[in-house]
């Protein structure tokens, strides 16, 4: 390729990344005009690059035919980064052990806007029917993962998050009250339990997973069919087991980090 061709390729790459960043800063799907305004690129250039990004599956069409959203390949890049940081690699065998012990689905998730985004998932054969694919989004407002996420936020962050949630949902006031009512219990126990959450017939327990106070707050979740477990088992067996698993993952991550730094 000529020097001019190399330069054109670099410019196109830079513009393509600029478009992807625009989606990371936006609330929901975007149309061509919105992307052009967010990136200060000509609409014709945006249309051409969006077509290329869709062809490569970094963007997909939203429910509205005239709007676009990030595709799973973008998530794949983020997941590769998390794997390189050892989070998924360390968590996976521990999650598999939990799944087999409790005939459950064990998920690892990170917050993305108003959802928890699944970045790892392991299921026992008896729980495979309720397993969600990696990349699925679970609503924070109506899930145990959401309850855990809110319970372990810093006070200022919690206040802002709940205010936004209250304003963004038709039944926001009722949901926020329910979340507030469960905060102290979640903090005391170290986990949140949600029966018949956003999926009927599924019960879940979630715990926080955070290497350091300023690091990303991850969520470790256990889901089982409601017909196979009592609330007592969730509170007395699965919840404490999930807390222990979270601690085990953190200890191994800290050990690897210390070894890497040569301390």
Please name which of 180, 233, 244 lies closest in space to residue 204, comparing C-alpha atoms.
Answer: 233
pLDDT at position 206? 95
Q: Is the pLDDT of residue 114 over 50?
A: yes
CATH 3.40.1210.10 fits 75-261, yes or no: no
Please give the Cα distance from 192 to 134 (Å, whole number): 22
- Non-local (6+) Cβ contacts of 232 within 8 A are none
* 210-242 per-position pLDDT tens digit: 877 667 789 999 999 988 899 899 999 999 999
Every domain range in the chain assigned CATH 3.30.450.40: 75-261
* 180-210 per-position pLDDT tens digit: 998 999 999 999 998 766 678 899 999 999 8
pLDDT at position 42? 92
pLDDT at position 194? 85
Every domain range in the chain assigned CATH 1.10.10.10: 3-70
Q: How distant, in Å, are the alpha carbons of 122, 134, 223 from that of 80?
A: 17, 13, 25
Residue 67: both structure tokens together: 């709007």
CATH 3.20.20.70 fits 3-70, yes or no: no
With beta carbons less than 8 A apart as the criterion, state whether 144 and 193 touch.
Answer: yes
Q: Is the pLDDT of residue 123 over 90?
A: yes
pLDDT at position 1? 46
Helix intervals (H) in the chain: 3-25, 32-39, 43-55, 72-84, 87-102, 144-151, 155-168, 172-189, 231-233, 239-261
Range name among 22-31, 106-115, 200-209 with the lowest pLDDT average: 22-31
Query: What is the chain's mean pLDDT, rounded?
Result: 85
Range name among 27-31, 146-150, 156-160, 231-235 with the lowest pLDDT average: 27-31
Cα maximum dimension of the chain: 69
With beta carbons less than 8 A apart as the criterion, state whether 138 and 115 touch.
Answer: yes
Range name among 120-124, 153-157, 174-178, 221-225 with the lowest pLDDT average: 153-157
Q: Is the pLDDT of residue 84 over 60?
A: no
Residue in the structure block whose two tokens are 């393509």: 16
Q: Is the pLDDT of residue 262 over 60?
A: no
Residue 149: both structure tokens together: 């996420």
With beta carbons less than 8 A apart as the criterion, state whether 230 and 135 touch.
Answer: no
DSSP class of residue 30 equals: B
Q: Is the pLDDT of residue 98 over 50?
A: yes
């Amino acid at each position: 390729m000529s020097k001019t061709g190399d330069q054109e390729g670099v410019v196109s790459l830079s513009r393509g990344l600029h478009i992807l960043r625009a989606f990371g800063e936006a609330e929901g799907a975007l149309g061509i005009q919105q992307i052009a305004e967010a990136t200060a690129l000509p609409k014709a250039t945006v249309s051409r690059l969006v077509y290329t990004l869709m062809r490569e599956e970094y963007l997909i069409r939203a429910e509205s035919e005239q709007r676009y959203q990030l595709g799973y390949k973008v998530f794949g890049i983020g997941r590769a980064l998390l794997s390189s940081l050892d989070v998924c690699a360390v968590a996976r065998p521990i999650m598999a052990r939990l799944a087999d012990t409790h005939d459950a689905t064990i998920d690892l998730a990170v917050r993305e806007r108003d959802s928890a985004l699944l970045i790892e998932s392991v299921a026992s054969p008896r729980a495979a029917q309720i397993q969600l694919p990696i990349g699925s989004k679970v609503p924070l407002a109506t899930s145990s993962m959401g309850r855990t996420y809110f319970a372990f936020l810093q006070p200022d962050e919690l206040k802002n998050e709940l205010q936004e949630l209250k304003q963004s949902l038709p039944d926001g006031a009722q949901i926020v009250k329910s979340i507030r009512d469960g905060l102290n219990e979640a903090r005391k126990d170290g986990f949140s339990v949600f029966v018949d959450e956003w999926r009927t017939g599924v019960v879940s327990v979630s715990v926080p997973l955070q290497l350091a106070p300023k690091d990303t707050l991850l969520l470790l979740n256990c889901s089982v069919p409601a017909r196979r477990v009592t609330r007592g088992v969730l509170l007395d067996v699965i919840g404490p087991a999930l807390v222990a698993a979270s601690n085990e993952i953190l200890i191994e991550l800290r050990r690897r980090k210390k070894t890497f730094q040569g301390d």
